[in-house]
Amino acid sequence: MSFNSFSEFLSMGGHGLYVWLSYGLGVAILAANLILPKLAGNQLLKEQKRRLRREEGVR
């Protein structure tokens, strides 16, 4: 371990703001890239199923 205590870990030798801001951004961007397509995919499948039901129901 590079740190002796959790509070030391959080403060990062005074650079805490920068390190945690960066990692927070990193997590946010990675998560957005994984979650947004998944949500869009679910939405797409739902819409297409609805369209299919509508079109096949008419026949």
Partner 1 sequence: MAEKKWMPRWFYQLASPRWCYQFTGKLLPWFAVAAAVLLIGGTVWALAFAPADYQQGNSFRIIYLHVPAAILAQSAYMLMAVAGAIGLIWKMKVADMVLKSAAPIGASMAVLALATGAIWGKPTWGSWWVWDARLTSMLILFFLYLGVMALNSAIENESTAAQASAVLALVGLVNIPIIKYSVEWWNTLHQPATFKLTEKPAMPVEMWLPLLVMVIGFYCFFAVSLMQRLRNEIIWRERRTGWVRELLNKQ
Using CB under 8 A, list all residues that contact partner 1.
Answer: 1-3, 9, 12-16, 18-19, 21-23, 25-26, 29-30, 32-34, 37-38, 40-41, 44-45, 48-49, 51-52
Quick one: CA dihedral 30, 17, 15, 10, positive or negative? negative
In the complex, the smallest distance separating the C-beta of residue 25 from partner 1, rounded to whole angstroms, is 5
Q: Residue 51's CB: how many other CB atoms inside 10 A?
A: 10
DSSP 29-41: HHHHHHHHHHHHH
Minimum distance, C-beta of residue 58 to partner 1, in the bound complex (Å) = 15
Minimum distance, C-beta of residue 9 to partner 1, in the bound complex (Å)? 7
